């Protein structure tokens, strides 16, 4: 048990230590109602939340000490590709960037916290966007593998658990999601609207995705050759979708959407091949993936060691186009009348996590980790400085209870790292107001604030949960 973060959302120091610009550094802030903008050059006067984020870059000792105080056993973080290869295509790495992560890993080691490292979490070097249109170009595979070789070799004795790509399935959403997921930028797309499924530019997105699959499979083989004890996993944004009614049309639709969202990528990464459904989808949408000889063999030989996913909510699907849809994490669906929603409209469904774990484990039969889960909420600071986030405790408690049930059902669950264990920038909206943390960070949507850290009520609750290995959830 521990917590999860990503460099682009909490590190800051965006030009320090020789760091280059990543795609996230080009995204302005936004709110629930106004989308984040993609800027092709940094604009004077515009606010970019990733540039300072919550300044982990300078405060990592303090933050890791707080994680240790809660008793974290594991900490999910990403390495920011642009600290190591500022433009993405250099031949030699940036020593200062490597040194920063030496320091972070040493600090984690001091407290016996096991790092779980995402190699690419929405941090594609913007230099690769400009030069190649990101992952659309096959040459980016080599850039990624050079980066992997560098970090696998450097950290082989301090990092054992790796994830090749965060939410690799984001590329199946097409449109603007491709900028975050793969550094692809299309004419006319300047706003990030993650919850919308945008079926334009799908051929390019699937081509880029194929390159990521090949890169991931090669990284798995490379990693195992550098340290045979490495455990290298995939990471999928889970979208649990129920049929809205018992009409077989709804059931079929929900099943197919789940196949598309949750299994298409994992089938390649876990089973080593494209599924029949993927091939049918390509056929029916005139998507022709350009492959090189040996690609299919590479996929077969680069299967991951474990499956990880993010789980926040669920939604319903109806074949009837007149039923109104709502938003959620990376997918739209219909509001489930049996569930309550978060302030951002994401439906809260703890039992859905048990259902999902069982479904995934029955299909893949490899160890699993829930590497993101949590409640994005507005927190109130009381006069005495305390933050009584009982709603967050209730959310997490209910989800942990269901994970315990899933383990009892036979699911091999290796770990749980709730998202944003310390308040950080929202990926979807760019806000600070949407807080997930056990640790409050004094920072507002417009970038003001002292960055002071303070413990919320959930901090003490989670400490007890970890201490008792999930026995005491009261
Ligand atoms: C996942 C991402 O989609 O959800 C994270 O991997 C993200 O980067 C998290 O922060 C929560 O989404 P949001 O939009 O509330 O930040």
Does any domain span residue 448?
Answer: yes
Does any domain span residue 104?
Answer: yes
Does any domain span residue 397?
Answer: yes
Tell me the average pLDDT across 368-396. 97
146 pLDDT more than 70: yes
Residue to mutate (ligand 1; options 419, 426, 435; most atoms within 8 A of CB): 419
195 pLDDT more than 60: no
DSSP 26-93: GBPP--SSSPEEB-SSPPTT---GGGTTT-HHHHHHHHHHHHHHHT-SEEEEE--HHHHSSSS--SS-
The pair of structure tokens assigned to 315 is 């939604």
Q: Specify the number of domains making up the chain.
A: 1
Ligand 1: residues whose CB is within 6 Å?
6, 9, 166-167, 237, 310, 329, 372, 376, 419, 426-429, 434
Annotated active-site residue 372? The verdict is yes
Nearest CA to ligand 1 atom 10: 427
User: Residue 426 Cα, ligand 1 centroid: separation in angstroms?
Assistant: 6
Does any domain span residue 60?
Answer: yes
- The stretches of 270-429 forming alpha helices (DSSP H) are 276-284, 295-301, 350-364, 390-409
Does any domain span residue 368?
Answer: yes
Distance separating alpha carbons of residues 173 and 177, to the nearest angstrom? 6
Domain holding 66, by residue range, is: 2-467
Tell me the average pLDDT across 16-37. 92
Does any domain span residue 473?
Answer: no
Q: Measured in whole angstroms, how far is the alpha carbon of residue 470 from the centre of its chain?
A: 24
The residue with tokens 């927190």 is 379
199 pLDDT more than 70: no
Nearest CA to ligand 1 atom 8: 427
197 pLDDT band (50/70/90 cuts)? low
Atom of ligand 1 nearest to the CA of 6: 8
Does any domain span residue 393?
Answer: yes
Q: What CATH number did the domain enclosing 428 receive?
A: 3.20.20.80
The pair of structure tokens assigned to 128 is 């690769």
Residue to mutate (ligand 1; options 121, 309, 310, 424; most atoms within 8 A of CB): 310
Tell me the average pLDDT across 130-147. 98
DSSP 227-265: -TT-EEEEEEE--EEEESSS-HHHHHHHHHHHIIIIIHH
Distance separating alpha carbons of residues 193 and 36, to the nearest angstrom? 8
Provide the 3-class DSSP secondary structure of residue 269: helix
Note the pLDDT of residue 114.
98
Distance separating alpha carbons of residues 25 and 9, to the nearest angstrom? 10
Atom of ligand 1 nearest to the CA of 344: 15
Among candidate residues 222, 218, 199, the one with its CA nearest the CA of residue 269: 218
CB 150 within 8 A of CB 88: no
């Amino acid at each position: 048990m521990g917590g999860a973060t990503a460099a682009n959302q909490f590190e800051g120091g965006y030009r320090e230590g020789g760091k280059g610009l990543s795609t996230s550094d080009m995204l302005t802030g936004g709110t629930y109602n106004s989308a984040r903008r993609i800027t092709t050059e940094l604009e004077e006067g515009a606010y970019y939340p990733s540039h300072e984020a919550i300044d982990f870059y300078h405060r990592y000792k303090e933050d890791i000490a707080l994680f240790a105080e809660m008793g974290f056993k594991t900490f999910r973080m990403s390495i920011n590709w642009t600290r190591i290869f500022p433009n993405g295509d250099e031949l030699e790495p940036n020593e200062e960037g490597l040194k920063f992560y030496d320091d972070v890993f040493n600090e984690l080691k001091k407290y016996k916290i096991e790092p779980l490292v995402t190699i690419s979490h929405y941090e594609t070097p913007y230099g690769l966007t400009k030069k190649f249109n990101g992952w659309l170009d096959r040459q980016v595979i080599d850039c990624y593998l050079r980066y992997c070789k560098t970090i696998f070799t450097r950290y082989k004795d301090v990092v054992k658990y790796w994830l090749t790509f965060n939410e690799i399935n984001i590329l199946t959403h097409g449109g603007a999601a491709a900028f975050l997921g793969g550094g692809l930028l299309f004419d006319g797309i300047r706003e990030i609207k993650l919850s919308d499924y945008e079926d334009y530019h799908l051929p390019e997105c699937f081509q880029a995705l194929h390159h990521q699959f090949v890169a991931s499979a090669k990284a798995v083989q490379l990693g195992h050759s550098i340290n045979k004890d490495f455990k290298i996993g995939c990471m999928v944004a889970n979208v649990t979708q129920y049929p809205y009614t018992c009409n077989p049309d709804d059931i079929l639709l929900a099943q197919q959407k789940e196949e598309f969202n949750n299994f298409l990528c994992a089938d390649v990464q876990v089973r080593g091949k494209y599924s029949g459904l993927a091939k049918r989808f390509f056929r029916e949408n005139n998507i022709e993936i350009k492959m090189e000889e040996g690609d299919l063999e590479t996929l077969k030989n680069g299967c991951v060691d474990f499956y990880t996913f993010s789980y926040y909510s669920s939604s319903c699907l109806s074949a009837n186009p007149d039923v109104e849809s709502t938003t959620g994490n990376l997918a739209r669906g219909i509001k489930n009348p049996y569930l309550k929603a978060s302030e951002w409209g994401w439906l809260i469904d703890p039992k859905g996590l048990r259902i999902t774990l069982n479904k995934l484990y029955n299909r893949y039969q490899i160890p699993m980790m829930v590497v993101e889960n949590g409640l994005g909420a507005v927190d109130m600071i009381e006069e005495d400085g305390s933050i009584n986030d009982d709603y967050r405790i209730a959310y997490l408690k209910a989800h942990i209870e269901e994970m315990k049930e899933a383990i009892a059902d036979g699911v091999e669950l290796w770990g749980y790292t709730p998202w944003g264990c310390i308040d950080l920038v929202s990926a979807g909206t760019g806000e600070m107001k949407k807080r997930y943390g056990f640790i409050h960070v004094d920072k507002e949507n417009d970038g003001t604030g002292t960055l002071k850290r303070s413990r919320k009520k959930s901090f003490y609750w989670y400490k007890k949960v970890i201490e008792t290995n999930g026995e005491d959830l009261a």
